[in-house]
Amino acid sequence: MSRIFITGSSDGLGQMAAQLLVEGGHQVVLHARNKERAVHAMAQVPGAQAVLSADLSSIEETKALAQKLNDAGHFDAVIHNAAVGFSEPRRVATIDGLPHVFAVNTLAPYILTALMHAPKRLVYISSSLHLSGDPSLGDLAWESRRWGGTQAYSDSKLHIVLLAFAVARHWPGVLSNCVEPGWVATKMGGPDATDDLDLAYRTQAWLAIGTSASHQVTGDYLYHQQSAQALRAAFDPALQDRLLQACAQLSGVALPSH
């Protein structure tokens, strides 16, 4: 039995993965954006061990969440599932003055990774749209570029691949992988999505359990439990480290060595 924390598990793929893991007898701690969503999350995943609320667009709340998780004890796996989509019609700034998409999709998983006690397994959720992400990492805070929701989302999903691969390289004792769930009919994906919803959440749960030899991979990009294509630039250690340095500068949190 594993103890697993899942961000963004009040609905969508995070909730589905949580339900599957609870049904499998695992201890699951949920996450929701606020207390109201936390109540909803517990109602939707009966048997979950607990739920913690934090707005991941806030650096302060994300840091506080990491502390709460450390106080709650050891986790075998963390699934970084929370994300916001690309439908924002304009650049929305967070309380910290950062673009909302970047803060939630990139910076929050970085902060949680850096501040939480390292689990055995880390799972990050990306998208095939990362292939359209900007590997220059220029102007991460989007202070000067014209806003484009789809591009911002694609960039953030490239960032999460870079983060997963960087952690795999810097923390050899941790299995760190990235998952592409596919384009599925969730609230984010919309009703026209064409991929299999039932398969979309299973790979993240499968990696989080890590009970067989086939699960013991690291630094991989997976789609439906198979290695899939990732942008070639994402494998560049220098680019990975540039993202780590930028996130450390923006958050005031450095990724520790292991």
Per-residue pLDDT of 243-257, as tens digits, reads 999 999 999 999 999
Please report, as a single letter, which amino acid is at residue 47: G
Instruction: Indicate the DSSP class of residue 29.
Output: E
Distance between CA atoms of residues 104 and 164, nearest Å = 16
Q: How confident is the model at residue 17 (pLDDT cuts 50, 70, 90)?
A: very high
- Give the residue with greater pLDDT, 24 vs 199: 24
- pLDDT score recorded for residue 182: 75
Distance between CA atoms of residues 155 and 136, nearest Å = 10
- pLDDT score recorded for residue 108: 98
- pLDDT score recorded for residue 195: 67
Give mean pLDDT, residues 7-28. Answer: 96
Distance between CA atoms of residues 155 and 162, nearest Å = 11
pLDDT at 184 over 60: no
159, two tokens? 């960032």
74, two tokens? 């050891």
Distance between CA atoms of residues 177 and 175, nearest Å = 7
- pLDDT score recorded for residue 144: 47
Active site members: 153, 157
Give whichever of 138-147, 186-195, 204-213 has the largest mean pLDDT: 204-213
Domain boundaries, the chain: 3-251
**CATH class for the domain made up of 3-251:** alpha beta
Distance between CA atoms of residues 239 and 241, nearest Å = 5
Give mean pLDDT, residues 202-230. Answer: 88
Give mean pLDDT, residues 140-152. Answer: 67
Q: Over the stretch 53-85, which tens digit does the pLDDT of each residue have?
A: 999 999 999 999 999 999 999 999 999 999 998
Q: CA-CA-CA-CA torsion for 125, 126, 127, 132, nearest 10 degrees?
A: 170
Q: How confident is the model at residue 8 (pLDDT cuts 50, 70, 90)?
A: very high
pLDDT at 192 over 80: no
pLDDT at 185 over 60: no
User: Does the global pTM surpass 0.85?
Assistant: yes
List the helix and strand counts (H, then E) for the chain.
Answer: 9, 8
212: number of Cβ within 10 Å: 8
Q: Which of 85, 76, 69 is nearest to 31 (CA)?
A: 69
User: Widest CA span of the chain, in angstroms?
Assistant: 49
Determine contact, residues 178/220, Cβ cutoff 8 Å.
yes
- pLDDT score recorded for residue 140: 79
Averaged pLDDT of the chain: 90
The label of the residue with tokens 């004792």 reads 173
pLDDT at 104 over 60: yes
Give mean pLDDT, residues 9-32. Answer: 96
| Inter-axis angle of helices 35-44 and 12-23, nearest 10 | 40
pLDDT at 199 over 70: yes
Q: Report which secondary-structure segment, H or E, holds 187.
A: none
